[in-house]
Amino acid sequence: MDRETARNLVAGYSLTSVPVATPFWPELDGLVSVREMSGTESFNYENAEKTDVATGKVLVASIHLTENKSPIFNATDYQWLLDTVGISSLKPLLYKVMGLSGMLKSQQEAAIEEAKKNLNPTTPNA
């Protein structure tokens, strides 16, 4: 396989998206999905202070309609979303996004433990 073919295969990849229950938005329940963060979004979130702005931006970017993957919110809606929707509704959505993105602490700890198991032991020079 050549480089261009491989690159085209990667370009066809889409971010993982899963339906989520939204009983707090009854008219939308069963119609909403969240997607994992892109690499850029993930690195930006990991390196940002975990403020309401960073969290709001992740949520507005990740929440979309299941049927056609259209975003429900505009990129600038993050503060409106945070001011309008209760944290008890937003946290489950955020945790789902973080889980899809491999950013939950338990996932990171499991990945580190798996990497440690796969390390080849080295023998010190005697």
113 exposure class (CB count in 10 Å sphere: 0-12, 13-18, 19+): exposed
Is the pLDDT at 9 greater than 80? The verdict is yes
Report, as an integer, the average pLDDT of 5-25: 91
Backbone angles phi, psi at 104, to 5 degrees: -75, 140
> pLDDT tier at 124 (50, 70, 90 boundaries)?
low
The class (CATH top level) of 14-104 is alpha beta
Backbone angles phi, psi at 19, to 5 degrees: -65, 145
Between residues 44 and 80, the one the model is more confident about: 80
List alpha helices for the chain, DSSP H. 3-11, 39-47, 52-62, 78-84, 87-100, 105-118
Q: By the 8 A CB rule, do 37 and 97 touch?
A: yes
Report, as an integer, the average pLDDT of 29-39: 93
